[in-house]
Amino acid sequence: MIVHLLAALTALTQPTRVDTVRATITAVIAEESPRTPFFFASVSGLAIDKAGRVFVSDAGEARIAVFATDGKALTTIGRKGKGPGEFQSPTGPVIGNDDALYVRNMSEVARFVPDASGIAKQFDRAFAGPSMAPWMSKLATVIDRTGRLHFPLEWGSSADGLTHHAYDRFSLDGRKLDSIYVPMQPTARSNWASVPVSARGGRMVKGINVVPFHPVPVFAVSAVGTILSSPSDKYTLQETDASARVVRELTRSVAPPSIPAVERADSARALGRRLDSLRVPLSQVNGVSEEVKARRLPQVYPVFRSLTVGADGTIWARRWSAATQRGTSWFDVLAEDGRYLRTVVVPTDCTTLPAPVVRGTTFTCVQLDPQTDAETVIIATIPGRR
């Protein structure tokens, strides 16, 4: 049965002031940061423990770095290797409701428990995850309220040319429980375009699989282990369970902002130049969307850029920033039952992968330098409700 939150929609249409608060950045952690310098080779995931400490997995350096909320480096966990407590490519750190740290490492999950310092850094054990794990994935590992660990999976399908997602679910002692699939949204398009060069493969062609501003589907695991997803072309969140049953839909009557004519025209010209530069007919390129073939761009921005579920079960739906909001990240915060609570503005442009993480008043995300691709970890404090 689909539950529409009519009461919440009615409240949103009333002429009341929207509750919008601004987060305060407490730390900017990067190699060149004057106050909190630290080198990251490839940030692959984030986590926050109950004390507000931030855990950052670095796949390139094969370690987990731990920071206080002011950015002070507290310790590192692990090193490159294949022994107990060592990593080949750590990603998706998550703090369980048992206060232990769980880290995906290739196709296994390593568990670290708190030592005398209270930090979960002491290696305890590891268990086998999926045999075909996407070990480079920056999707978050999730432990739901009942203690099920969700190990993300993704694969490309030759049947439809799309990327599919699911989660294998494990108990915290490593027993495989079941799987839950992410529903395919109608706005899904191929993640890549390619030109065949042989019977067995092709050459990737960047920038022509989707048009600029195409709404990209988003998803996250809820606090109870269901899947929240959206096509991102409208303010709708769909919740589905392990049997693919739609549990409910959460909607708000919020219209996405129009794309300024100048910005849209510039993007259309850039797409045209890219298509005109191809050395083969467009008909020979695989993975090109119908919108690209027609050179048809949306009139409005997508609604969502990402979904994050807080440690308290709140849903953080990141809105697409309008031109006047660039350099910031806007999150609509919804209660578990779908009620709109407030909007939180973080004064930095967070990446969508790895996704931001929030616990209590502590928020962390990754900022990417558009010129150098250098990664910076941002820690911010969220003010209490007014």
Range in 238-242, 282-286, 322-326, 338-342 with the lowest mean pLDDT: 322-326
pTM: 0.92
Mean pLDDT of the chain: 93
Residue range 235-276, pLDDT digits in tens: 999 999 999 999 999 999 998 999 999 999 999 999 999 999
Tokens of 239: 């919740």
* Predicted pLDDT at 324: 79
The yes-or-no verdict on residue 10 having pLDDT over 70 is no
Angle of CA points 295, 296, 297, to nearest 5°: 115
Residues 196-213 have pLDDT tens digits of: 887 777 889 999 999 999
- Residue range 113-122, pLDDT digits in tens: 999 999 999 9
The alpha carbon of residue 139 and the mean position of all alpha carbons in its chain are separated, in whole angstroms, by 6
Residue 285's pLDDT band, with cuts at 50, 70 and 90, is very high
Averaged pLDDT, 94-105: 98
Within 10 A of 278 (CB to CB), how many other CB atoms are there?
14
State the pLDDT at residue 7. Answer: 31
Confidence of residue 18 (pLDDT cuts 50, 70, 90): low
The whole-number pLDDT of residue 386 equals 42
Whole-number Å distance between alpha carbons of 315 and 340? 9
CA 119 – CA 143 distance, rounded (Å): 18
Q: Is the pLDDT reported for residue 6 higher than 50?
A: no
Q: Which long-range contacts (CB under 8 A, 24 or more apart) does 78-85 make?
A: 78/103, 78/110, 78/123, 84/123, 84/126, 85/110, 85/112, 85/123
Q: Is the pLDDT of residue 2 over 90?
A: no
Strand 340-346 to strand 20-22: parallel, antiparallel, or no bridges (unpaired)? parallel
Distance CA 34, CA 32 (A): 6
